[in-house]
């Protein structure tokens, strides 16, 4: 019974069976990491084709990991890949697979209504003890949870791209999230080999709340003619020790994603100058220059 858990070992043991919904960029990474750390994972998406692609991507990513990790013993590497892949199954029917799951991690499209509909349906199908989480970057966890009757067993698990590489998980405690649920999510993050930090259910949590306004400030500085993109990027890398400059990072994250986040915050808090839209960013997005994924953003990419 999840209510009687107290030790961290017991909290950790609470999550064995994980359902990851959405087999895109983030969901595939989350499934890979959960399976690599011994969890039994069901990956759910809307079509078999997408799931096949996701599984292929996971296999390729695992092979890259073991190439380094098992450089001395490639046979052990291959055995590890096979073992991890065995921990992952796939499905297009979320409602039926959640019947046997301890934890749902949702990583579908960033749309409140679509997420609410999904969780509303899962709430009826999942057992009492199952904890629901969203990987949302910009939507309030409480708003997503409102379509369910398990507000105490609903929290946020915000991973970073690429999931297998990035050590941080922001664990979000919404106002109604129980301490028990929150503790289980912290322990689960550690069991994944990640470093969790505790966040409140506030826009951008910690990382994006600081990073998005910072990137927009860089664009505004450039728009005022106070620095070239190249110089701003070099300055932040060599002067502040950042691994990427703000324009490189915007291209990596995707200009459309950054615009979506800032527009959402601006709508809710129009007087906050940190959330002001940027004409240059809007222009590039309108031109379809979204960054690395389209071959051009602030920079051209091969």
User: Contact positions toward ligand NAI, by CB under 6 A?
Assistant: 21-27, 44-46, 50, 107-110, 114, 118, 135-137, 158-159, 161
Residue 118 in tokens: 């999904």
Least spacing, CB of residue 136 vs ligand NAI, in Å: 4
Least spacing, CB of residue 212 vs ligand NAI, in Å: 12
Residue of minimal Cβ distance to ligand NAI:
24
| Residue (11 or 104) nearer to ligand NAI, CB | 104
| Residue (11 or 192) nearer to ligand NAI, CB | 192
1 is catalytic: no
Choosing from 106, 135, 170, 187, the catalytic residue is 170
137 is catalytic: yes
Choosing from 106, 134, 138, 158, the catalytic residue is 158
Least spacing, CB of residue 30 vs ligand NAI, in Å: 9
Return d(Cα 117, Cα 115) in angstroms, integer: 5
| Residue (67 or 301) nearer to ligand NAI, CB | 301
Count the alpha carbons within 13 Å of 203 in the hemisphere toward its beta carbon: 15
272 is catalytic: no
282 is catalytic: no
**Vertex 78: Cα angle to 73 and 82 (nearest 5):** 150
Choosing from 61, 137, 178, 278, the catalytic residue is 137
Least spacing, CB of residue 158 vs ligand NAI, in Å: 6
| Residue (169 or 186) nearer to ligand NAI, CB | 169
Residue 271 in tokens: 């007087």
Least spacing, CB of residue 191 vs ligand NAI, in Å: 20
Contacts of 227 (CB under 8 A, 6+ apart): 221, 235
Least spacing, CB of residue 91 vs ligand NAI, in Å: 10
| Residue (25 or 125) nearer to ligand NAI, CB | 25
Return d(Cα 211, Cα 71) in angstroms, integer: 36
| Residue (22 or 245) nearer to ligand NAI, CB | 22
Q: Which residues are known to be catalytic?
A: 137, 158, 170, 208
């Amino acid at each position: 019974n999840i209510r009687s858990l107290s030790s961290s070992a017991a909290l950790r043991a609470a999550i064995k069976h994980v359902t990851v919904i959405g087999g895109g960029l983030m969901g595939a990474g989350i499934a890979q990491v959960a399976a690599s750390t011994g969890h039994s994972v069901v990956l759910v998406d809307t079509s078999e084709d997408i799931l096949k692609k996701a599984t292929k991507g996971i296999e390729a990513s695992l092979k890259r990991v073991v190439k380094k990790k098992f450089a001395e013993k490639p046979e052990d590497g291959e055995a590890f890949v096979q073992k991890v892949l065995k921990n992952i199954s796939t499905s297009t029917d979320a409602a039926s697979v959640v019947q046997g799951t301890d934890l749902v991690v949702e990583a579908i499209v960033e749309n409140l209504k679509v997420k609410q509909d999904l969780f509303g349906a899962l709430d009826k199908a999942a057992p009492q003890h199952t904890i629901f989480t969203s990987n949302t970057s910009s939507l309030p966890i409480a708003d997503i949870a409102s379509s369910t009757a398990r507000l105490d067993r609903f929290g946020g698990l915000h991973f970073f791209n690429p999931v297998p590489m990035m050590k941080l998980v922001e664990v979000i405690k919404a106002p109604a999230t129980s301490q028990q649920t929150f503790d289980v999510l912290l322990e689960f993050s550690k069991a994944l080999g990640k470093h969790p930090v505790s966040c409140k259910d506030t826009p951008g949590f910690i990382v994006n709340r600081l990073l998005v306004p910072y990137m927009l400030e860089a664009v505004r500085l450039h728009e005022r003619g106070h620095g070239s993109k190249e110089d701003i990027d070099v300055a932040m890398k060599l002067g502040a020790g950042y691994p990427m400059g703000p324009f490189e990072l915007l291209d990596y994250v995707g200009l459309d994603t950054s615009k979506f986040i800032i527009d959402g915050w601006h709508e809710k808090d129009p007087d906050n100058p940190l959330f002001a839209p940027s004409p240059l960013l809007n222009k590039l997005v309108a031109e379809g220059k979204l960054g690395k994924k389209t071959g051009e953003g602030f920079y051209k990419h091969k």
